[in-house]
């Protein structure tokens, strides 16, 4: 593809999709040629915010430094029907950033037209769709990647290099957690139903399971899991928002109360739904245990009710010659307006034969960059693939397939109380 200008379109132009488009447009002006969404309001508000230099909380996880964006970007050809866009426009690459339950349908449309595919995680949300996407893409002649944003983070790469380079000997086991300090947000928007997300294992843990796989470089064999919903959901109306609720100032989960008591900045208006709504049917805590090839074991747990300033993500990697402690949130503090003051990750390695004062301790600064500094490096990697250059952050379909299989197997285990063999 080298030498030929990219022609990129996006299906699902919300937070992820619009930021992906903005990044490509900044790197290669004119490369984004069209977008499709059932509703263009999120695209408009995000682009308007960047044009007005006041992105605030609208950027969510994908905040970027965007400069030199032309006002004309708002006038990109816009479609509500993806087939119409893919047929009418001159496109070679498609960003798929819709709700998770339609990724598979959009992947199929792009495969039929032989386009490069940059899809958001997860690959798909049902066993049938995951297998279908795998069959369609396993030998695909064009670029096809699943977006795991943390994989490009310098700390993730360093952790992988340590483990696979032998710093802690041969890997024996992993103990990993994700205590999500912004967990309420998952229950304030579309992600809160099994219809659109399947589970929060597939929505969230999929990243961590992929990171564990990537760091240890082994294939999982079997999975068992437990899960329950103990915090979110209830009897409140599905369309209720904190803005119009009579408990706006008394409910401890009100976005206004969180702003007052925990100095948490108000989320954008479309992320203010009541976390006790009837339609919420997803478990909000999970424990997963994994057996890898060669007898290596791992435990993983995630919760969505960590204190607003108490997020924890990472874990211990135990090897024959030492232990590596990966802390994605090492030091972390932001202003009430959501601006990062300090943000870094750390790797702390203790070796089996080591004197007490000896230590391998590394710190990776990510202040001002999302996903522990993984977002932009991940996008650089996608551009490299599209331009035919090598990259370590390949985000392959196989990686997306394995992570999705693990998440679906974990949910199956929760439902059946059985250990599930992955059969990879």
Ligand X SMILES: NC(=O)c1ccc[n+]([C@@H]2O[C@H](COP(=O)([O-])OP(=O)(O)OC[C@H]3O[C@@H](n4cnc5c(N)ncnc54)[C@H](O)[C@@H]3O)[C@@H](O)[C@H]2O)c1
3-state secondary structure of 127: helix
**Closer residue to ligand X (CB): 120 or 184:** 120
Kindly tell me which residue out of 25, 37, 373, 376 binds ligand X, with binding defined by CB under 6 A. 37
Closest CA to 95 of 41, 151, 4, 18: 18
The 10 Å CB-count burial string (b at 16+, else e) for 75-86 is ebeebeebeebb
Q: Does 400 bind ligand X (CB under 6 A)?
A: no
Stretch that binds ligand X, among 15-23, 220-228, 281-289, 335-343 (CB under 6 A): 15-23
Q: Out of 26, 64, 149, 395, which residue is the one contacting ligand X (CB under 6 A)?
A: 149
Question: Residue 269 is encoded by which pair of tokens?
Answer: 């208006």
Query: Closest CB to ligand X among 36 and 159?
Result: 36
Cα(208)–Cα(220) distance, integer angstroms = 14
* CB-nearest residue to ligand X: 14
Contact status: 61 vs ligand X (CB under 6 A): yes
Give the residue among 370, 371, 298, 360 at the shortest CA–CA distance from 325.
360
Among the candidate windows 35-43, 159-167, 212-220, 295-303, which touches ligand X by CB under 6 A?
A: 35-43
Q: Which of 9, 14, 33, 328 binds ligand X (CB under 6 A)?
A: 14
Six token digits for residue 161: 């290099």
Tokens of 336: 């009430």
Would you count residue 121 as binding ligand X (CB under 6 A)?
yes
Please, which of residues 87-106 interact with ligand X by CB under 6 A? 97-100, 102
Per CB under 6 A, the list member of 38, 341, 342, 419 interacting with ligand X is 38
If phi > 0 it is left, if psi is from -120 to 50 it is alpha, else beta; for residue 114 that is left
Shortest distance, position 332 Cβ to ligand X, whole Å: 17
**Structure tokens given for 369:** 């960059």
CB 203 → ligand X: shortest distance, Å?
6
Nearer to ligand X, 324 or 410 (CB): 410
Q: How many residues contact ligand X, by CB under 6 A?
A: 25
**CA contacts within 13 A on the Cβ side of 80:** 4
Residue 254 sits in the site that holds ligand X (CB under 6 A): no
| 302 near ligand X, rule: CB under 6 A | no
Q: How far is the CB of 17 from ligand X (least distance, A)?
A: 6
The CA–CA distances, whole Å, from 12 to 41, 99, 188 equal: 11, 8, 19
223 binds ligand X (CB under 6 A): no
CA distance 263 to 243: 17
d(CA 252, CA 7) in angstroms, rounded, equals 47
What residues line the site for ligand X (CB under 6 A)? 11-17, 36-39, 42, 61, 97-100, 102, 120-121, 147, 149, 190, 203, 371
């Amino acid at each position: 593809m080298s030498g030929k200008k990219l022609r990129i379109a996006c299906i699902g132009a919300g937070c992820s999709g619009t930021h992906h488009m903005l990044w490509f447009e900044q790197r290669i002006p004119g490369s984004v040629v069209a977008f499709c969404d059932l509703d263009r309001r999120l695209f408009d508000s995000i682009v308007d915010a960047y044009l007005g230099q006041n992105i605030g909380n609208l950027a969510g996880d994908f905040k970027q430094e965007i400069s030199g964006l032309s006002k004309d970007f708002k006038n990109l050809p816009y479609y509500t029907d993806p087939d119409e866009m893919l047929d009418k426009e001159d496109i070679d690459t498609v960003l798929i950033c819709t709700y998770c339950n339609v990724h598979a349908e959009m992947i199929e449309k792009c495969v039929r037209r032989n386009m490069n595919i940059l899809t958001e995680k997860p690959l798909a949300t049902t066993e049938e769709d995951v297998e279908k996407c795998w069959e369609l893409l396993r030998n695909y002649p064009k670029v096809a990647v699943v977006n795991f944003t943390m994989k490009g983070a310098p700390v993730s790469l360093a952790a992988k290099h340590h483990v696979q380079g032998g710093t802690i000997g041969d890997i024996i086991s992993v103990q990993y957690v994700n205590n999500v300090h912004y967990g309420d947000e998952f229950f304030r928007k579309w992600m809160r139903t099994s219809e659109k997300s399947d589970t929060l294992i597939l929505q969230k843990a999929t990243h961590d399971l992929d990171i564990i796989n990537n760091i240890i470089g082994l294939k999982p064999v079997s999975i068992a899991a437990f899960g329950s919903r103990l915090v979110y959901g209830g009897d409140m109306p599905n369309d209720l928002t904190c803005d119009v609720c009579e408990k706006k100032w008394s409910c401890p989960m009100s976005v206004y109360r969180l702003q007052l008591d925990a100095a948490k900045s108000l989320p954008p208006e479309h992320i203010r739904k009541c976390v006790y709504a009837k339609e919420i049917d997803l478990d909000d805590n999970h424990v997963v245990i994994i057996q890898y090839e060669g007898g290596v074991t791992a435990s993983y747990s995630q919760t969505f009710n960590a204190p607003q300033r108490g997020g924890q993500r990472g874990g211990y990697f135990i090897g024959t010659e030492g232990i590596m402690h990966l802390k994605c949130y090492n030091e972390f503090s932001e202003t009430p307006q959501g601006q990062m003051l300090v943000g870094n990750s750390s790797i702390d390695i203790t070796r089996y034969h080591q004197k007490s004062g000896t230590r391998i301790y590394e710190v990776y600064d990510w202040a001002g960059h999302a996903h522990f500094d993984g977002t932009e490096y991940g996008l650089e990697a996608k551009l490299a693939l599209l331009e035919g250059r090598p990259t370590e952050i390949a985000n392959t379909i196989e990686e997306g397939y394995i992570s999705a299989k693990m998440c679906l197997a974990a949910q199956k285990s929760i439902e059946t109380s059985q250990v599930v063999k992955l059969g990879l």
